[in-house]
Amino acid sequence: MSRKPEILVIFNPISGDINKKPILNDIALEAEIKGFNLKKYKTTGNNDLDKIKNILNDTSFKHVIVVGGDGTLQLAANAIMERNLPLGIIPAGSSNGFASNLNLPTQLSAQIAVTFGNHSIDVDMLSVNGDLCLHISDIGVNAVLIKNYEDSRIRGKLGYALQTLPSLVKSDYPYQFEITINNKKFTKEGIMLAIANAKQFGTGATINPDGELNDGQFEILVFKKMDVIQILQTLKNTPRMDKDFVECFSADKAKITIPKPIEFQIDGEYLGKVSDLDVKILPEKLKVLVNGNKMKYLT
């Protein structure tokens, strides 16, 4: 009797204050219907990456499903990026920025169907100071917001909203940025510099409308000032942002220097203060399962 193919489910039990048990039960039911064995791994924050790699070494899995937010996705991507394993995504975190760029279904049953499907795309990733970035990293005001959010006790979008004003008050902007692309240096000033491999933050704000996940390029966006009208524009799917508000540079590698260390985040995780960033594209490094009926992900 042939052995059933296996799927690994990586889930974060506390992300987004969402009860994962019903989600896992529905995934298990679909696995049974489809004829898969299911193995589950619950993240603990204690050496998760090595533990997941050991599991992957011991068993030949058909693909991996992640139930969680951007942090859990980044963990899984680190574990599987050299294995060419398809990654299925059930967005279930406080921030689901990477998933928001894939036009995944909103209903759980449809999301699960995608994770058991055969439609996938190969997406780029970024290396930022040697750390993996799936969609957006930045320095400046937004990273201050994320730091304050992580220090607070209120999760979800409400937690982000409540930290917005204190973050603006505490931020020491404008900042100076020296950007080097292809041996050309640019000195810019602004409230935030974003390094974007995708279009949207997990909050739904579209800061990089021309971004594509697999074009071999990333965008450096310098936001010059605090402009409420322009910020509201980012809530549209195709915002029209004034050049006096944001300036954009495309690159496949770049170096960024800041005279005074400032706050830094990757994919919604605060990583401290930095004064230098070394960024490069990792072309088509991750295979992601998507909805085969809606293939307009990267346009």
pLDDT tens track for 70-127 = 889 999 999 998 898 999 999 998 778 899 889 899 999 999 999 999 899 999 999 9
% of the chain beyond a pLDDT of 70: 82
The rounded Cα 69 to chain-centroid distance in angstroms is 8
In our burial notation (b when 16+ CB lie closer than 10 A, e otherwise), range 190-218 reads bbbbbbbbbbbbbbebbbbbebbbbbeeb
Q: What is the reported pLDDT for 172?
A: 63
Return d(Cα 283, Cα 214) in angstroms, integer: 7
The length of the chain is: 299
Nearby residues of 91 by Cβ (< 8 Å), 6 or more positions away: 69, 99, 100, 104, 111
**Tens of pLDDT, residues 135-166:** 999 998 888 777 765 555 444 443 343 334 34
Both tokens of 216, joined, read 């071999």
- Overall average pLDDT of the 54-76 stretch: 92
Domains belonging to the chain, first-starting first, are: 6-118 (3.40.50.10330), 131-283 (2.60.200.40)
**pLDDT band for position 284 (cuts 50, 70, 90):** very high
As to burial, measured by CB atoms within 10 angstroms (0-12 exposed, 13-18 middle, 19+ buried), residue 61 is buried
How much is the pLDDT for 208?
Answer: 87
Cα gap 277→255, rounded to integer Å: 6
Name the pLDDT band for 67 (thresholds 50, 70, 90).
very high
Opening angle at CA 141, ends 152 and 44, nearest 5 = 40
Helix locations, 18-124, DSSP H: 21-34, 48-58, 70-80, 97-100, 108-115
CA separation for the pair 202, 100 (Å, rounded): 6
